[in-house]
Amino acid sequence: MILDQKVIEALKAGKTILYPSDTIWGLGCDATNEKACQRIFEIKNRPENKSFILLVDSFQMIEKYIPEFPPVCYDLVDLSDKPLTIIYPNAQGLAPSVLAADGSVGIRLTKDPICLSLIRSIRLPIVSTSANISGQPFPTSFEAIDPNIKEHVDAILEIRTNEQLSTPSQIIKIGLDSSIQVIRS
């Protein structure tokens, strides 16, 4: 898939982007770049004690940032019939602000071709947080995105702007003991 070079260059330069994710319109950046992640907090007016969801392109990428997790995670992702975010314990090598207070992080292995192209263009996980001001409903279309969001991101990937994107991912938290807690179904 050919993407707007300005968006790819923004990601590589540690900037923020607005893009259609595999679930809803998202704000994103390189998830290893603390300055870029802080900028997303500012754009969303989001409390810094709330972590972000990250998108990756493979379990190999997850394994780079999550040194240990139960093997059941492979099955959960493979068997899920819709996008699934798993909160993994003990993340490393990511921007500190993407982590929860306990060191965990929510990661979704995406199958969406647009998201895969973005991730593969920088070979790093990307942030995927809803494109809304914190506390406001997430937008179900490109037109519904707050103009302040559009004005303050560094680049906008104007693909699928006429589609309704309105299904957030399922979220589960997994423990090293293979315990599972459903956060959002």
User: What structural domains does the chain harbor?
Assistant: 5-184 (3.90.870.10)
Closest to 123 (Cα-Cα) out of 37, 36, 60: 60
Q: Show the low-confidence residues of the chain (pLDDT under 70).
A: 1-2
Per-residue pLDDT at 74: 95
Per-residue pLDDT at 47: 86
Per-residue pLDDT at 45: 93
Contacts of 114 (CB under 8 A, 6+ apart): 1, 3, 19, 20, 21, 157, 159, 160
Per-residue pLDDT at 48: 83
Write phi, then psi, for 158 (nearest 5 degrees): -90, 70
Q: And the tokens for 155?
A: 């680049």
| pTM for the model | 0.94
